[in-house]
A = this chain, B = another copy of it.
Amino acid sequence: MDRNRYPVDPWALRETALPLQPETAETLFAVGNGYLGIRGSSEEGHDAVCPGTFINGFHESFPIHHAEEAYGYARAGQTMLPVPDPTVMRIHAADEPLHLPVADLERYERTLDLRRGLLERDLIWRTPVGVRLHVVSRRIVSFTHRHLAVMELEVTPLDGDLPLTVVSSVVNRLDADPASHTAAPPSPTAEWDRAVVPDPRKAGGMEAHVLQSTDLWCDGPRSYLGYHTAASGMTLGIGVDHRCSSPEEILEHEEHHADAVSHEFRVHARRGHTVRLVKYVAYHTSRSSQPGELIQRCRRSLDDAVAIGADRLYGEQREWMNGFWQRSDVEVLGRPDLQQAIRFNIFHVAQAAACSEGHGIPAKGLTGTGYSGHYFWDGEIYVLPFLSYTTPEISRSALRFRWTMLPAARRRAREINMEGALFPWRTINGLEASANYAQGTAQFHIDADIAYALMLYARASGDWDFLTCTGVDLLVETARMWFDLGFFRQDGDRWFHIDGVTGPDEYTTVVDDNLYTNIMARGNLWDAVRTVRALEQNRPDAYTRMVERVGLRPDEVNDWQDAAERMFIAYDEELQVHPQDDQFLFKEVWDLPHTPDADRPLLLHFHPLVIYRYQVLKQADVVLAEFLHSDQFSSEDKLRDFNYYEPLTTGDSSLSAVAQAIMAADIGHVARAVHHFTNLVYIDLADLHHNADDGIHIASAGGVWSALVYGFGGMRDDTGVPQLDPRLPDSWQGLRFRITLAGSRVRVELRPGEVELTLEDGPATTLRVRGQEVAVRPEGPTTVPLELHSRLTEPPTMSDIAGRLRSDGTVIEPTLPSHSAHRNDPEPSSEAREHSASQSPIRHSPDT
């Protein structure tokens, strides 16, 4: 990270000179609220590289053309659309436009203010006519009015008078120049036989003229635009209003056509007198309403916003942010550099999720077109833990959104000859949009990821009613899918096996008994069994309604229990590690130490068939499973598995560092945890994966919180009572975070040798610290002393780990294990089980 350009500031990302990679800066300085997002392109517009304004769920559809077809392949692609861009407010000083790349700037500073939720730019321009202009612009996407963005410009001549013009526009850039906005699939060229490797992570393409104009009204400083999409049939309404103030007379003028409206404000500005232009923009979208109706909604949104006024809206924004940070802030004491990066990530999670109600959380939030704006498993595994422990109502709405996708997931299961529901690997509208089944549909684990997030939410929030009345459907339909997918081997082994799946690690695909999948499926099945049984026993009314909704058959729950109890969990007795899948340990080991950087990430330099032949990981897989179901593995298992897989893991997936950081801390290798955490927290700020221009890695951003709280904080909550087993890095003076447990907000402050627990809000509650129960009461903080490295063996050094791969030039490979060897813990430990039982959703249901 360029610290000259981006100085340390614990509460802001500040840019003190024009960015060297403007497209990356547009990502970093994006503002949004989970419903509406605007990339950080400049107000002038002309110098924007990849501008983009996005509305969660607003997408175009297109047929997926498979080069070779087969039964059941996904048929409908979807891609998030950039909506008309509201950012342009272009200044002309005596007819000379401000154009940053060539402007003579005396001052330039841009600040993403993490405490105010506001983007501000402050510059002094020496205009060609010799007068310096002080130009301050501000931009928010409101957290309190989700359809609303407010932006403003304050222009003050410093040295004399001059004629000023500001042109404010809303422009449909997509159809003006589609190529600049989305990466289309490779076009026909004369060089078909050469290897051209587009980055598969980029967004898919669309037809020309996607946004078709339906409405266009102009009313003084206010305009409305209406559109529908060419194929998906979605509708869009936009309203824009302006308030211009100046001591001098203001001349207004409008121009408008289907793909752009412009409002022009002219003032003969006087030295020291400020011209202020405030622009209010409202967006509404729909799948059913006409654009005309959406324009009416925009009218009401604008009326409200103008009545409140920009300054009060900024105040509301700051207030919202205050509340957010009270619940969500994580502080690393004595490290303002890390502090800045941490808050930057957490802030972007808020911007991706806060007002996402009715939609999912896109992989890159609303900050760019990467991954086409699709929802993956990322939300459930990397973002919802943070939200469930800080702002659980957002988790609830994300899980409710999954529930609304159940009908589509049921249909998808039928399409590929399965029972229950199979959630799409990537989607916006609920239909599977992955065109590559080996890395898409085969990731059946998404069903278990959703079930996992649901149970985590219920435990964290105490909102068992959601599980009882709604969420249980998700458990039932996903359990059905697992029972259908796997099978009991009929011969000697008799375990329940799950063949032909892809785990999180996409450097092997369509494998048998992927450990992550089997562990997560087992959890899913148990959760379904316990929830349905508890419902039957304690909430017969809800049980009956559920049975009606999902058509539960009498024998199903026993089947699920049987499958969960007999789930095959492979274990290699000789190596004493858990194989990632049945074949994994038999493969050749990829020689990572001798793979040059130029050949990374592997997926962009090697054919999948090459990568699949080797023991090499795109992301942690076993290690992730051992974090998520921490109570099912011994410390020794975790240590050995971490040590085995760590040197095989490329981290080519941005998600990998989360589990690696957490589990490195878990096994006591705190320095390694800090290494991964550093990679994680700077992934976009330092553009470590060379694709920050596509948008913020929201799952990594959520994972920053996980790495801090689960990793260094050592929190686990598999069993109902959250436990802490902290590992404070030596270089940190302390770590302070908050978790909200069923309404009780507890501040955890970790200092060398002790941890202090303070109840900040809500009723008294209980945690465990290294096995010891600690009551957290309103009376005041409780301090618990920590023995350093209690229960930890001496951690391995990194050279030990790397040494596994090569010593004396020889690859050290695993000895051939007996294939049938395995160790099977069909259920969590009995202690864990007891906790789960006592946490049965039904007994805790407030209305029983």
Interface residues of A (CB under 8 A from B): 61-73, 75-77, 185-189, 192-198, 200, 411, 415-418, 431, 434-442, 485, 487, 489-493, 497, 499-500, 509-510, 512, 582-583, 586-588, 603-610, 612-613, 811-816, 818-820
Contacts and interface: CB of A to CB of B under 8 A. Distances in A.
26 contacts: A63-B188, A64-B192, A67-B67, A67-B185, A68-B200, A68-B436, A70-B607, A71-B603, A72-B606, A72-B608, A72-B609, A75-B195, A192-B431, A193-B411, A416-B609, A417-B605, A417-B607, A437-B608, A441-B607, A489-B813, A492-B816, A499-B583, A500-B609, A510-B510, A512-B587, A818-B819
Contacts of A500: 609, 612-613
Contacts of A411: 193
A69 B199 CA distance: 8
Given A67-B435, A68-B200, 10 more contacts: A63-B186, A66-B67, A66-B435, A68-B440, A71-B607, A72-B610, A75-B196, A416-B606, A490-B812, A583-B583
A816 B493 contact: yes
Given A492-B816, A510-B612, A818-B819, A75 B607 contact: no
Contacts of A604: 71
A525 to B, nearest CB: 18
Nearest to A194: B75
Q: What 4 A-B pairs have minimum CB-CB distances, sorted nearest first?
A: A819-B819, A67-B435, A72-B607, A490-B813
A66 to B, nearest CB: 5
A197 B71 contact: yes
Interface of A is mostly: loop
B816 A491 contact: yes
Contacts of A609: 72, 416, 437, 441-442, 500, 510
A816 B493 CA distance: 7
Contacts of A436: 67-68, 70
Number of copies of this protein chain within its complex? 2
Contacts of A509: 510
Contact of A431 (B73, B193, B814): B193
Contacts of A610: 72, 416-418
B69 A67 contact: no
B499 A71 contact: no
Contacts of A439: 68
A189 B76 CA distance: 10
A31 B499 CA distance: 48
Nearest to A198: B69
Contacts of A812: 490
Contact of A587 (B415, B442, B499, B587): B499
Contacts of A197: 69-72
Contacts of A608: 70-72, 437
Contacts of A188: 62-63
A416 B612 CA distance: 12
Contacts of A493: 816
Contacts of A72: 195, 197, 606-610
Contacts of A510: 509-510, 609, 612
Contact of A814 (B76, B438, B491, B816): B491
A497 B437 CA distance: 27
Contact of A487 (B69, B415, B588): B588
A68 to B, nearest CB: 4
A603 B186 contact: no
A490 B497 CA distance: 28
A370 to B, nearest CB: 14
B441 A71 contact: no
A509 to B, nearest CB: 8
Contact of A813 (B491, B583, B818): B491
Contacts of A489: 586, 588, 813, 816
A435 B434 CA distance: 16
Contacts of A818: 818-820
A591 to B, nearest CB: 11
Contact of A415 (B195, B200, B437, B811): B195
Contacts of A605: 71, 417
A512 B193 contact: no
A416 B608 CA distance: 9
A185 B607 contact: no
Contacts of A820: 816, 818-819
A493 B818 CA distance: 11
